[in-house]
């Protein structure tokens, strides 16, 4: 290869890798702490994930299908939210569109999310979602004593 071809090939490779990295970072969220997550959300609860299902939510204009993940959950305590039982949460199947990842099993999560008009709960990586055991004592106390009384504490 000539020097010019090598130079063009190197430039194209760098541009390609830069573009792939740009696409991979499509989800942009400002990290939220537990108080911000509580105050900005419609629902806050602790729950275990009992199942996971990929569901098709329709097709886009180019014929590509949109998929969500439905996590079946067992709520142990509701801190903020509706009077009815929440049995599932929904999230995008893609991390590029801020889809949240939860593990099934015995792990207890503190989950904040948005209550949709149809009664479903949507979550994303932009919400405060944390393993309950990873919360420190101050966070747990404020969750029980402070945030439920208002967001100004």
Q: Give residue 60's pLDDT.
A: 67
- 46-80 confidence digits (pLDDT tens): 999 999 999 987 776 666 778 999 999 999 999 99
Domains with residue ranges and CATH for the chain? 43-148 (2.40.50.120)
Task: Using alpha carbons, select from 94, 93, 98 the residue that is nearest to residue 71.
Answer: 93
Claim: this prediction has a pTM higher than 0.85: no
Buried b (16+ CB within 10 A) or exposed e, 2-37: eeeeeeeeeeeeeeeeeeeeeeeeeeeeeebebbeb
Q: Give residue 83's pLDDT.
A: 83
- Burial class of residue 45 (count of CB atoms within 10 Å of its CB; 0-12, 13-18, 19+): buried
- 4-46 confidence digits (pLDDT tens): 555 545 554 555 554 544 445 588 988 899 999 999 999 999 9
In the predicted structure, residue 2 carries a pLDDT above the cut 70: no
Residue 92, φ and ψ in degrees, nearest 5: -65, 150
- 79-126 confidence digits (pLDDT tens): 999 888 999 999 999 988 899 999 999 999 999 999 999 999 999 999
């Amino acid at each position: 290869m000539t020097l010019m071809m090598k130079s063009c090939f190197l430039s194209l490779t760098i541009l390609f890798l830069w573009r792939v990295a740009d696409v991979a970072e499509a989800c942009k969220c400002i990290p939220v702490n537990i108080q911000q997550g509580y105050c900005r959300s419609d629902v806050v609860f602790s729950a275990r994930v009992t199942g996971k299902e990929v569901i098709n939510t329709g097709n886009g204009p180019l014929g590509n299908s949109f998929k969500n993940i439905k996590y079946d959950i067992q709520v142990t305590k509701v801190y903020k939210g509706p009077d009815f039982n929440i049995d599932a949460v929904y999230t995008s199947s893609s991390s590029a569109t801020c889809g949240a990842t939860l593990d099934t099993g015995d792990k207890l999560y503190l989950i904040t999310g948005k209550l949709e008009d149809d009664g479903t709960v949507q979550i994303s990586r932009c919400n405060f979602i944390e393993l309950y055991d990873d919360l420190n004592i101050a966070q747990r106390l404020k969750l029980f004593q402070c945030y439920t009384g208002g967001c100004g504490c």
